[in-house]
Structures are given as C-alpha cells and as structure tokens.
Structure 1
Amino acid sequence: MKTFIIILTFLTLFGGCSTKNAFFGFDMDKEQELSASSLQSSKIVSKDGKISGIFSLIYLNEVYPETFNKNEHFFVFMFIKESKELYDPKNPKDIDMRLKLNSKLPLKVEKLPKENRFSKLVNTKNDWNQYYLVTFEQSDTINLTLDDNASSSRVIKYKKE
C-alpha cells in the first residue's frame, strides 16, 4: 500500500507538469477547420465488388465563399489502382473516371500538382494521388458520384445553406 501511494504521488506530480494536452496538435486556421468539416471520401468499387480506389473532395464554396461563389467548386484528390484520369470536357476519353454533380458532367477540370494552392487544406500529399480543381454549374442540391464503365462510388451529398 505504501508503494502504491508513493507511485501515485509521483504520477500526480509529474502528470501535472505537462505543458501539452490532447489538443496541442490541433492548431488550424479557419480554412483548415472548414475544410476538415467539408472533407468527404468514398471508395471506388468495381462491378465485381473489389475496391479499385478511393476519392476525397472538399467543397471549396464552403471554405472560400468570397472566392468561389458563382459555380460549384471542389478540390478532388483520388487514388485509383489502374492508370485513369478524371474526365476533362476539353479532352474527353471513354476510359476516364467521370465526376458528376446531379448526373451532370463538370464545366471545367484542372489537374493540379502535388504541391498546389489547396495543399494546406489536407495532410495527404503523396506521389500516388491525383489532384484536381473541378467546377460545375451552380445547383440547389449537391449529389456527387465518381464512375466509369467498370466501377463507381457511393453518392456524396453536401447541404447548401
């Protein structure tokens, strides 16, 4: 019992000296906080039920409302096992993955480098991800899907305020 009290005393003394707590690593600016709440991801599943990739997106209209307000803008990053690109209306190919907003194709797709202006919003920067800025027409509802002829994702929904 005496040993237990001595150990408990030392643990209390040294535990109270800590300058860091559970929240010390969560210093985020406003944009990072908004992007964390806006970030959504989905698996890309082939027709035979195998996972062929994952994609994530951030609704930029919520993060930067003063800059992105005329259309619907998304920062998209994805990993696909097979070598595929995101469908670009300027250079369409049948094999590309198609991101659709309410079953409509995007107005503009811009492929971004690994280090880009939205990199600070997420901590997942790697060589195997592909990064895009995707623009759609303005819409009252936001239901996004990513698909091609062989696979698809679940529907990702955002609530507009």
Structure 2
Amino acid sequence: MRIFIGLMTLLLLLSGCSSKTEDSLIDRFEKNKTAYRHLQKTEKVQLYDHNVTKAFLTATYLYPSGTKLGKEKTEEQFVVGIYLEEEPSNRLGKAYRLTLDGNKPKSIQPLGKESPYLEGLPFVTEWNSYYLVTFPYTPCQRFSVTFESSNYGKKEMSFSKVAKYVEDNKAI
C-alpha cells in the first residue's frame, strides 16, 4: 500500500511540474511569435579591418507571409540596422552601399527608435541606426543583398521568399 501511495504521489508531482513548464513555454512563444517570424527572415554581416569590426549590419526582409510569388508585390522592403564604428551618425552613404542582386535601392528612409517597423524585430539596439530600405521588385525566389564598403570589402546576405531550407518545388 505504501508503494502504491508513493508512486501516485510521485506521478502527481511530475505531472504538475511538466504542465506548468509546458504552459509557460507556450505562453512565451505566443507572446514572441512575431519576433520568431521576423527572425527567420533576418540576416547579419560584419565588415572587418584586421579582425576589428568596422561595420555591423542586420537586415530583416519584410515579405508578407501568404503572398503568392509574383503577385501583389511591386517592391522588396527591408528593415536595416547598421552600426558603423567610424561614423558617429551610423549612416549609409558613399562609403557604405547596399544592393539587391546588383540593383541600387529605390529609397532609404531613416526610422526613429519608436517606429512601428521596429516592433517585434530581433536585434534592435540603442547604438544602431535603422532604415526602411526599398528595392525594385525581383521575381526570383532566392536573392542576395550585398553590403559593401570602399574600405573594407563586401559581404552578401541570402534571402528567400520561401523557406530557405525547403526545396524549390515545396513552397510553404
């Protein structure tokens, strides 16, 4: 009888602990669902000079889920966060350029720290400057955005309109 009561008490304790933890994880996921969705479409690059970071850039692709490829889209938009060690104002300009498959941006619009575009984005920091960067539409499912410096070289970030690790014929 003692063994039976002991086993029942142990099962009760274990089931009570696991359900609380599971509920907590589900609640945390639901609260951060937007951030996780944006994280899937975010890439980062760093430009170096002798192993010292001179420029750090994050780009989040704003491709609305559920949009059919080639439909309802006239441009490609990104929220870009940039930290430039040598530029106190952290600006994109002549020394630093962005291109999408070789095409220059249509517009680069500065974003304030309270911008709705920054809500739910991963990697939002106080020391970065943020921009809404708009490129001409590309019909390609996969494309590259290049961050280039006249002094420190260039790096590419790969983006996709479908999940990156899904075969082309299996769109989500």
- Is the TM-score greater than 0.5? yes
CA distance in structure 1 between the aligned counterparts of 2:19 and 2:26, rounded to whole angstroms: 16
Partner residue, 2:128: 129
Following superposition, the deviation at residue 109 of structure 1 comes to 0.3
Q: Is structure 2 residue 68 aligned with structure 1 residue 79?
A: no
1-structure distance, mates of 2:32, 2:15: 34
- Distance in 1, matches of 2:138 and 2:14, equals 57
Counterpart Cα distance in 1 of 2:74 and 2:15 = 57
The offset of 1:136, in angstroms, is 0.9
What corresponds to 1:106 in structure 2?
Answer: 105
State the alpha-carbon separation in 1 of the partners of residues 32 and 18 from structure 2.
29
The CA distance in 1 between the partners of 2:129 and 2:153, in whole Å, is 17
Per the alignment, residue 40 of structure 1 pairs with: 43
The farther-off stretch of 73-82 and 13-22 is 13-22
The answer as to whether partners of 1:98 and 1:146 remain within 8 angstroms in 2 is: yes
Letter in 2 for 1:157: S
Distance 1:117 1:54, change over 3 A: same
Q: Which residue of the partner structure matches residue 20 of structure 2?
A: 18
Match of 2:165 in 1: none
> Residue 38 of structure 2 aligns to which amino acid in structure 1?
S
CA contact (8 A) 1:78 1:130 kept: yes
More helix by share: 2
Over the residues paired in the alignment, what is the CA RMSD in angstroms?
3.3
Deviation of 1:116 after TM superposition, in Å, equals 0.5
- Which ranges of structure 2 fall in alignment gaps of 5 or more residues? 1-5, 163-172
Give the TM-score taking structure 2 as reference length. Answer: 0.68
Please say if residues 98 and 147 of structure 1, whose CA atoms lie closer than 8 Å, have aligned partners that are also in contact: yes
Deviations 1:89-110 (A, max 9, x none): xxxxx33x21111122211000
The residue number in structure 2 matching 1:91 is none
Partners of 2:39 and 2:122 within 8 A in 1: no
| Alpha-carbon spacing, 1:115–1:153, altered in 2? closer, same or farther (3 Å) | farther
What SS does structure 2 have at the residue aligned with 1:103? coil
Distance 1:113 1:151, change over 3 A: same
What SS does structure 2 have at the residue aligned with 1:55? strand
Q: CA deviation at 1:122?
A: 1.2
5+ residue gaps in structure 1?
88-93
CA contact (8 A) 1:34 1:62 kept: no
Whether the aligned pair in 2 keeps the contact of 1:86 and 1:98 (CA below 8 Å) is yes
Find the aligned partners of 2:133 and 2:62 in 1 and give their Cα distance.
10
